[in-house]
Copies of this chain bind each other. A is one copy, B any other.
């Protein structure tokens, strides 16, 4: 876990008069061990493998904690389960593009978007704090060549495609 993240977490814990526990430590470590998005249940499975005896409830409670500390962010990918994104520390204002062909999620940063959001918000009389932008798109290669590299990739990696409501 990035020392800067650890520091921020420690600061938050001190600020709120909370306590450092083995469970919180294991969970936080697992959360930031990959840059992949995950659900509470997925994280619970990961945590359970590395450390035994951590309950689902504690995973949920710790996730809320990390979100409140602004170290972790809930994002909306259109699923019913809440999805968490651990990459906002590295890329504080990144956006998401979701391919509707394969469900693949691509993160990207764009200073133009940041600037525009800032302007729009101010014009409306507000001070922007943060934004979330999701672009849904179809794969251009799949459309023109009939081949979607992401589709193949997602099949190979066995990822589930997005659920429909």
| Chain A residues close to B by CB (< 8 Å) | 64, 67, 76, 95, 97, 99-100, 106, 108, 110, 112-113, 116-117, 120-122, 124-141, 143, 165
Contact of A67 among B122, B133, B165 (CB under 8 A): B165
Chain B nearest CB from A154 CB (Å) reads 15
A138 touches B126 (CB 8 A): yes
A129 touches B138 (CB 8 A): yes
A97 touches B113 (CB 8 A): no
| Interfacial chain B residues near A67, Cβ < 8 Å | 165
Contact of A124 among B97, B136, B143 (CB under 8 A): B97
Known: A64-B165, A130-B135. 15 other contacts (CB 8 A): A67-B165, A95-B120, A97-B120, A97-B126, A110-B116, A113-B113, A116-B116, A125-B140, A125-B141, A126-B138, A126-B140, A127-B138, A129-B138, A131-B136, A133-B133
